[in-house]
Amino acid sequence: MKKGLKAPSSFKQEIMLKAGDKAPAFSLVADSGEKISLKDLKGKKVVLYFYPKDMTSGCTQEACDFRDSIKKFEKKNTVVIGVSPDDTKSHMKFKDKYELPFTLLSDESKKMLEDYGVWQEKSMYGRKYMGVVRTTFIIDEKGNIEKIFEKVKVPGHIAELLDTL
pLDDT tens, residue by residue, 53-83 = 999 999 999 999 999 999 999 999 999 999 9
5 belongs to a structural domain: no
- The model's pTM is 0.87
SS3 category, 65: helix
* Domain assignment present for 145: yes
Residue 98 lies in a domain: yes
pLDDT given at position 16: 86
| Domain assignment present for 20 | no
Report the CATH number at residue 60.
Answer: 3.40.30.10
Is residue 4 assigned to a domain?
no
**Residue 72 within a domain:** yes
Verify whether residue 59 is a known catalytic residue: yes
Name the active-site residue from 36, 41, 46, 59.
Answer: 59
Q: How many residues does the chain have?
A: 165
Residues of the chain with pLDDT under 70: 1-14
β-bridge mates for residue 135, sequence order: 50
* Residue 113 near residue 132 (C-beta atoms within 8 A): yes
As for how many domains the chain has, the answer is: 1
User: Residue 141 is part of which domain span?
Assistant: 27-164
Helix or strand holding residue 24 (H, E):
none
